[in-house]
Amino acid sequence: MNAYLLIGTEREFMRPSKRDELVRKSLAVFYRDGFHATGMDTLVVETGISKTTMFKHFRTKEDLILAVLRYRDETFRNWFLRSLDERDLPPRQKLLAIFDVLREWFEESGFRGCMFIKASSEFQDPAHPAHTQSTEHKRLLLSAFKSLAEKAGAARPELLARQLLLLKEGAIVAAQMGFDPDPAGAAREAASALIEAHIPDT
Amino acid sequence: MNAYLLIGTEREFMRPSKRDELVRKSLAVFYRDGFHATGMDTLVVETGISKTTMFKHFRTKEDLILAVLRYRDETFRNWFLRSLDERDLPPRQKLLAIFDVLREWFEESGFRGCMFIKASSEFQDPAHPAHTQSTEHKRLLLSAFKSLAEKAGAARPELLARQLLLLKEGAIVAAQMGFDPDPAGAAREAASALIEAHIPDT
DNA sequence: GCGAATATGAACAGATCGGTACATATATCG
DNA sequence: CGATATATGTACCGATCTGTTCATATTCGC
């Protein structure tokens, strides 16, 4: 049995370490500079991985981008939901904590907004795989929010989840563009009022 | 006196009609396909205006993009705020109507999200003029919302305006990506709860 | 209709785009 | 070690990128 099969998340190739390294490092560049604005030659310089190797792992730039988005979905969603979980709060408070985790993210150095909002902005055709993958990412978050809203005893958990997600996306855009000094705080207060309206305070 | 000076909004050139035509038609292409993904040769084909003329009016592609963004700010903000005004509602209802106007926009054929969110996604450097112009557009909307919130008698008009803007931006992202069947509706209901919390119901 | 301003078309420049060819080097496994 | 898989470097391909050149039309104010 090949030990490499156990490393990382990719199973299509025998030695995925280089591939994973490429995905991770490309993610950083795409996130910082954008998809169209980043050329393959830039990736060679920034990742230190040869162009030949890149095109051995991914047939096209688009394939690489899709792998980057898959990786981002996995890591970001894991990080976000686990951060929520680790706070070990009652469900109602957990809904609010969404916006505390969000603020943590906004305060990270190098924060540049949501990779999926940007992907859907650069690949606007709704049928484009980068677009559909981005939509799917948001659906998965929505579903997690809904399950939280149910546990919190919301009268209409689906609606509450959608509204909290709207607040979250709005806060991300505000943080990215910088037109609000504390979008996470404003969103948190709004969420509090919403939760109050959805879940009568015992 | 030159009659051309009265046409359109541009005053730097003697015959602004071609320039305005170029800006308007380029806007449509950039909006549909994105900034980086649209080349100048594509613009020649899609606008029917020669490349020579383009570069006589704008020294670089970036200059054209900035003019497009200025034009978009003007027309969109005018349209949005006038649509609100024309409804002739009491201030409190006007705040809610934000999301009715929003839904109208979402339902337009060819809707592809907010041009400024996309601009700030493609030009991520916060110091890039396309980015700062996008931020400014949102600030102007925020200011209009705040003035509405004041007229509606909100206890903290600035906060309410920021929250309504977050809902609006979130709804736009949701509409662009398509992960919510009725983002304007969900946002409207949320706004209703927020307004209720900010402005006690007589 | 005349002179001046403006618009056009096509060809071109140099850089960069995504992607390939191929020969060489390095690492891994038995 | 020896065999095999993987990674590298460089040079190259055709297409496309932003922007220019220049000679020719077209449109304008008067």
Q: What mean pLDDT comes out for the span B111-118? A: 98
Q: How confident is the model at residue A17 (pLDDT cuts 50, 70, 90)?
A: confident
Looking at residue A16, its pLDDT comes to 63
In whole angstroms, what is the distance from residue A38 CA to residue A45 CA?
11
* Each residue's pLDDT tens digit, B138-165: 999 999 999 999 999 999 999 999 999 9
Is the residue at A76 inside a domain?
yes
pLDDT tens, A113-145? Answer: 999 999 999 999 999 999 999 999 999 999 999
- Token output for A71: 């990786």
State whether residue B123 is helix, strand or coil: coil
Band the pLDDT of A4: cuts 50, 70, 90: very low
Kindly state whether residue A119 falls inside one of the protein's structural domains: yes
pLDDT score for A13: 38
How many CA atoms within 13 Å lie on the side-chain side of A87?
18
Tokens of B7: 């046409």
- CA-nearest of A68, A70, A94, A80 to A161 is A94
| Position A97 in a domain | yes
Q: What is the pLDDT of residue A201?
A: 72
Interface of A with B in 159-188 (CB under 8 A): 159, 162-163, 165-174, 176-180, 183, 186-187
Structure tokens at B76: 């969109």
Q: How many domains is chain B partitioned into structurally?
A: 1
Domain with B74 in it: 68-198
How many of the other CB atoms lie within 10 Å of CB of A193? 17
pLDDT bucket at B4, cuts 50 / 70 / 90 = very low
Q: Rg of chain A over CA atoms, in angstroms? A: 19
Q: Provide the phi-psi class of B180: left if phi over 0, else alpha when psi is between -120 and 50, else beta.
A: beta
Q: Do A179 and B117 touch (CB under 8 A)?
A: no
Footprint of strand D on the protein (CB under 7 A): A 13-15, 17-19, 48-53, 56-57; B 2-4, 15, 38-42, 51-52, 55, 59-62
Does the distance separating the beta carbons of A178 and B190 come in below 8 Å? no
* Nearest Cα residue to B166 out of A103, A165, A31, A136: A165
Q: How far apart are the C-alpha atoms of A51 and A41, rounded to whole Å?
A: 7
A128 to chain B: closest CA residue: B177
Residue A6: inside a domain: no
C-alpha–C-alpha distance, residues A193 and A201, integer Å? 11
Contact with chain B for residue A190, Cβ under 8 A: yes
Sorting pLDDT into bands at 50, 70 and 90, what band is A12? very low
**CATH code for position A80:** 1.10.357.10
What's the CA B20/C1' D19 distance, rounded, in angstroms? 21
- Residue A3 falls inside a structural domain: no
- Checking each nucleotide's C1' against the CA of B15, the nearest proves to be C6
For tokens 């969603």, name the residue.
A77
> Per-residue pLDDT tens for B17-51?
899 999 999 999 999 999 999 999 999 999 999 99
Q: Is residue A22 part of a domain?
A: yes
Helical (H) or strand (E) element with B179: none
Would A1 be classed as within a structural domain? no
Please, which positions of strand D sit below 7 A from a protein CB? 5-11, 16-23, 28-29
Residue A70 CA neighbour count, 13 Å, CB half = 11
Residues A167, A174: Cα–Cα separation, whole Å:
10
Q: How far is B7 from chain A, CA to nearest CA, in Å? A: 33
Our CA-based measurement puts residue B154 at a distance from the nearest CA of chain A, in whole angstroms, of 14
CA–chain centroid gap for B189, Å, is 23
Q: Is residue A149 a part of any domain in this protein?
A: yes
